[in-house]
Amino acid sequence: MPEGPETRRAADRLARVLVATGPLEIRLLYPKIAEWREPLLASPVREVTSRGKALLIRFENRLTFYSHSQLYGRWTVGRRDRQENSRRSLRAEFLTRTHAARLWSATEVRVLLPGAEETDPFLSRLGPDVLDRGSTPVLLQRQLESHTRKSAAHMMLDQSVFAGLGNYLRSEILFEAGVHPDDRPADLGAEVLQTWSRAIRRVTRRAYREAGVTVPGDVARNARAAGEPRRTWRHWVFCRNGAACRVCDQEIQRRRYGGRRLDFCPNCQPRHRR
Q: Among the options 35, 260, 270, 271, which is catalytic? A: 260
Handedness of CA 88, 89, 92, 97 (dihedral sign): positive
How many helices and strands (H and E) does the chain possess?
8, 10
260 is catalytic: yes
Nearest one of 233, 207, 198 to 218, comparing CA atoms? 233
Residue pair 201/171 in contact by the 8 Å Cβ criterion: no
Q: Among the options 9, 51, 53, 234, which is catalytic? A: 53
3 is catalytic: yes
Alpha-carbon distance 142 to 201, whole Å? 13
Task: Report in angstroms the alpha-carbon separations of 155 from 139, 164, 195, 250, 265.
Answer: 15, 12, 16, 26, 19
Other beta carbons less than 10 A from residue 237's beta carbon: 28
Give first-to-last CA distance, the chain, whole Å: 36
Catalytic positions, written as ranges: 2-3, 53, 260
